[in-house]
Amino acid sequence: MAEADEVQSLLEELRRTVEARREDGFYPAGLEDDLSAHFRRIVMHRVAPDLSRLDASMERLRAVPGLSPDRIPSDSGVPGGPALHRGLARLLGRQTQGILEQVEELAAALRAVADELSWAVRQASTHVHTDLIAQIDTLQDRLSALERQPAGDAGPMALAELSRRLEHLERAEEARTFRPSYSAEAFEAAFRGSQYDLKSRYRDLASRLAGCSPVLDIGCGRGEFMELLTEEGVTCSGVELDAGLAEAGRRRGLDISEGNGLADLAARADQSLGGVVLIQVVEHLTAPELLNLVSLAADKLRPGGRAVIETVNPQSLYVFARAFYLDPTHDRPVHPGYLTFLFRQAGFDGIEIDWRSPPPPDEILQPVGEPGADANYERLNQLLFGPQDYALIATR
């Protein structure tokens, strides 16, 4: 059929013919639907066996009367036959009764078995039906959809990988947003010593920033180091994540804002700072954050400006036995070699490491006066009881 118009008009004609036949009564109403419904019924009942014959047999079985000697015929055409039968029946009555009882027992057991079997067949045939097939269909469709995915497009695998990463991110985020039920102030007071102790501990470090105004103290806590800077005549501001500590510092008249120090640093104008200080902060940072910190410091410090980073010394094993794991927010210790490398890469020179806080003398191994043993103790002391902290001082 070459011409589309021809085909269209033919189809139109077919529609009119069908209508005419319908009107002329060739097709009873609903015949087409009935045909389809009938075939569907055949399909649906395909799995169910025809149980009508079984039902009929069971009915017949139930209708069979119980066994009785009375139902054994005793009539006879032979003269005197019935009397003979009755006589025999009397003679054999007990034996017959005994046999009948056993047969009746057997028959009852068989009826019970037949009932059970009939029930079981009906259960299977009514339950293995379309709902189950529909479920299998759904599963198979999902399977086919997966199978139809082009090779190389590892859809399900990519999904599993994504979900693995998501879980990892969620765990990391949970760790990042660790919010202890105790206050940071209480923690500082318990483990970092009094404000007086802290100030005496850091006075020398503050003096390294003389003439470096303005200084930004990231993670300034209650602002003890800022007070030392002020005493040196250095103007400074601080950023502190913990609201309680920031507020405590502000009460003492210090310029402390509450927030993320890295964000604060990033917001500063390039070369606008004379100093950046982080006291016991970098061990709380992730590796990318640390990288970010160093490059931001390089941008924001003016030439001659100084970065002062004080943190725990992972080269001293004593640190891990005593201080580091006291604070659950410590992310990872930062090796002085790595920190030096980072600052050098960022263009700082005059990098200096200041070893600080040696363990108390009474905790370190003492010489015993034997040269060989004492040399060994010395080496062990270096490994086990090295300085607990170090400060890196880098000049831009």
Partner 1 sequence: MTALRRPPDPYVADAGSVRAVHQFLPALMPGDACGIHTLAAQEALREAGFESEIFCEAIHHELDGKGRHFSEFPAWAAGSALVYHLATGSVLADYVNARPEPLVVDYHNLTPASFFRRWDMSVANAVSWGRAQLSMLVARTALGMADSTYNELEMIELDYRRTVVVPILLDVDAETVDVDPATLARLQADKAGGGTDLLFVGRLAPNKAQEDLIKALVMYRRAYDPLARLRLVGRPATDSYQAALDGFISDLGLDQAVTIASGLSDSQLAAYYRTADVLVVLSEHEGFNTPLVEAMRHRLPVIAYASCAVPETLGSGGLLLPDKSPSTVAAAVHRVVGDPALRDELVRAGSDRLAHFDLNASKRRFVNALTFLTGVTV
**Positions that interact with partner 1 (CB under 8 A):** 1-2, 7, 10-11, 13-15, 17-18, 21-22, 26-27, 31-32, 35-36, 38-39, 42-43, 46, 133, 136-137, 140-141, 143-144, 147-154, 157, 161
Which residues are CB-contacts of 74 (< 8 A; sequence separation ≥ 6)?
A: 82, 85, 86, 89
Distances (CA, A) of 16 to 1, 9, 210: 20, 11, 104
- Residue pair 377/367 in contact (Cβ under 8 Å)? The answer is yes
**Closer residue to partner 1, CB minimum distance, 35 or 92:** 35
Is the Cβ of residue 84 or residue 154 nearer to partner 1 in the bound state? 154
Smallest distance, partner 1 to C-beta of residue 128, A? 13
Which residue spans within the chain are E strands per DSSP?
215-218, 236-240, 256-258, 273-279, 301-312, 349-356, 389-395
Instruction: Return the number of the residue (39 or 191) whose C-beta is nearest partner 1.
Output: 39
Beta carbon of residue 354, minimum distance to partner 1 (angstroms, whole number): 46
Minimum Å distance from CB 53 to partner 1? Answer: 17
State the minimum distance, in angstroms, from the CB of residue 126 to partner 1.
Answer: 18
Q: Which two tokens stand for residue 119?
A: 């029930």
CB 54, CB 121: distance < 8 Å: yes
CB of residue 41 to partner 1, shortest distance in Å: 9
Give the tokens for residue 368: 């015993």
Which is nearer to partner 1, 35 or 263 (by Cβ)?
A: 35
- Report the residue number, 11 or 109, with the smaller CB distance to partner 1: 11
What letter would DSSP give residue 284?
G
Q: Is the dihedral of CA 251, 237, 297, 193 positive or negative?
A: negative
Smallest gap from residue 36 Cβ to partner 1 (A)? 7
Closer to partner 1 at the Cβ: 17 or 376? 17
Which two structure tokens, joined as six digits, stand for 131?
């709902």
Per-position b or e across 219-256, b if 16+ CB within 10 A of its CB: bbbbbbbbbbbbebebebbbbbbbeebbebbbeeebbb
